[in-house]
A and B are shown apart, each in its own frame.
Chain A
Amino acid sequence: MKRFAFDFENELINLESEIDRLKSIKQLSKEDSRKLEELEKIYSEVYRKTYSNLTPWNRVQLARHPYRPTSLFYINRLFKGLQEIKADRRYPDDLSLVCFIGEYKGKKTAIAGIEKGADSRERQKRRFGMPLPEGYYKFIRLLEIAEQLKIPVITFVDTPGAYPGIEAEEKGQALAIARSIQKMLFVKVPTVSFVIGEGGSGGAIALACADRIYVLENAYYSVISPEGCASILFHDEKRAPEAAELLKLTADDLFKLKLIHGIVKEPLGSAYRHPEETLRNIDKTLENALQEISSKDVEQLLKERHQFFINIDRNINNLVK
Chain B
Amino acid sequence: MNDRIKTNLKEDILWLKCSNCKEFIFKRIFEENLKVCPICGFHYRIGAYERIEMTFDDGIRGFKSLFEDIVSKDILGFTTSEPYSLTLEKNREKSGVKEAVIVGTGKVKGYEIAAIIFDFNFMGGSMGFGVGERIIRIFNYASQKKLPVFAFIASGGARMQEGMVSLYQMPRTIIAVEKFKEETRLPYVSIFLNPTTGGVLASFAYLADYIAAEPNALIGFAGPRVIEKTIGRKLPERFQRSEFLLEKGLIDKIVRRNEIRDFVSWWCRS
Residues of A participating in the B interface, judged by any CB pair closer than 8 Å: 162-166, 168-170, 172-175, 177-179, 181-182, 185-186, 201-202, 205, 209, 221-224, 228-229, 232-234, 246-249, 254, 257, 259, 306, 309-310, 312-313, 316, 319-320
Contacts and interface: CB of A to CB of B under 8 A. Distances in A.
A203 to B, nearest CB: 9
A313 to B, nearest CB: 7
A165 B133 contact: no
Contact of B220 (A174, A309, A316): A174
B37 interface: no
The majority secondary structure among interface residues of chain B is: helix
B230 A254 contact: no
B172 A233 contact: no
A249 B163 CA distance: 7
B171 A165 contact: no
Q: Which of B166, B203, B222, B240 has the most CB of A within 10 A?
A: B222
Contacts of B168: 205, 259, 309, 312
Interface residues of B, number: 48
A207 to B, nearest CB: 12
B269 interface: no
Interface string B197-237: 01101111111000000000000111100110011000100
Q: Which of B166, B171, B204, B227 has the most CB of A within 10 A?
A: B171
B80 A234 contact: yes
B250 interface: yes
Contacts of B239: 166, 169
B158 A224 contact: yes
Contacts of A310: 136, 172, 175
Given A169-B221, A182-B178, A202-B199, A223 B231 contact: no
A199 B126 CA distance: 20
Contact of A319 (B75, B170, B204, B240): B75
A209 B172 CA distance: 10
Nearest to B227: A164
A257 B164 contact: yes
Contacts of B175: 185, 306, 309-310
A165 B228 CA distance: 8
Given A185-B174, A246-B80, A223 B221 contact: no
Given A169-B222, A309-B172, A310-B136, A202 B202 contact: yes
A228 B158 CA distance: 13
27 contacts: A162-B221, A164-B230, A165-B222, A165-B227, A165-B231, A170-B248, A173-B222, A174-B201, A174-B202, A175-B202, A175-B250, A177-B203, A177-B221, A178-B201, A178-B206, A181-B174, A201-B158, A202-B167, A222-B164, A248-B76, A257-B75, A257-B165, A309-B175, A310-B136, A312-B168, A313-B129, A316-B129
Interface of B: 73-76, 78-80, 129, 133, 136, 158-160, 162-168, 170-172, 174-175, 178, 198-199, 201-207, 220-223, 226-227, 230-231, 235, 239-240, 248, 250
A172 B171 contact: no
A246 B78 contact: yes
Contact of A201 (B76, B199, B206): B199
Given A164-B221, A223-B160, A313-B129, A177 B202 contact: yes
A215 B185 CA distance: 39
The majority secondary structure among interface residues of chain A is: helix
Nearest to A186: B178
A164 B202 contact: no
Contacts of B75: 257, 316, 319-320
A182 B174 contact: yes
Nearest to A170: B248
Given A177-B221, A229-B160, A316 B136 contact: no
Nearest to A169: B220
B172 A312 contact: yes
